[in-house]
Amino acid sequence: MTDVWTSVGVIFSVFLVDKTKILILDPLVAIFIALNILFTGTSLIRRSLSGFMDEAIDKKNLEKIKGIFEKYEKKGLVFHEIKSRKAGQKKFLSFHALFPNDFTIKKSHDLIYKIEKEIKKAVFNIQIESHLEPKDDKKSFEN
Ligand SMILES: [Zn+2]
């Protein structure tokens, strides 16, 4: 599209200068097109680079995940170490879920299973890794 705008701009400014006889229009249109090329170029480079480097998943999906966590926090769970990244179309999420001490493994696992299912339903193409911990253990807050 940048090529198209360059060509359109050149033809347009030649036409404009010919019609109006205002010579300054030509360099003005040229500057505008140059800025457009620079802008497009930088955004292309930025987009290619973010594909190489780990970047958090987009805000909209993070908000959805946060909403799900908040729902379960009201039920007494705590979440921390929430990390996300994306590689191409694939999204990755990891987090620690802290449960009350008296929760059985079965009960905790059933809950985390439900939470992960909810996240997978809300966020397309996401792979989740979770770590279960007891809420009242100091070790849970160490890395
Ligand atoms: Zn932890």
**pLDDT the model gives residue 51:** 66
How much is the mean pLDDT over the chain? Answer: 90
Ligand 1 centroid distance, CA of 93 (Å): 14
* Ligand 1 center–CA 124 separation, angstroms: 26
Q: Is the pTM of this model over 0.85?
A: no
Pairing of the two strands 90-99 and 126-134: parallel
23 SS3 class: coil
The whole-angstrom separation of Cα 7 and Cα 95 is 51
Distance 126 CA to ligand 1 centre (A): 21
Confidence of residue 143 (pLDDT cuts 50, 70, 90): low
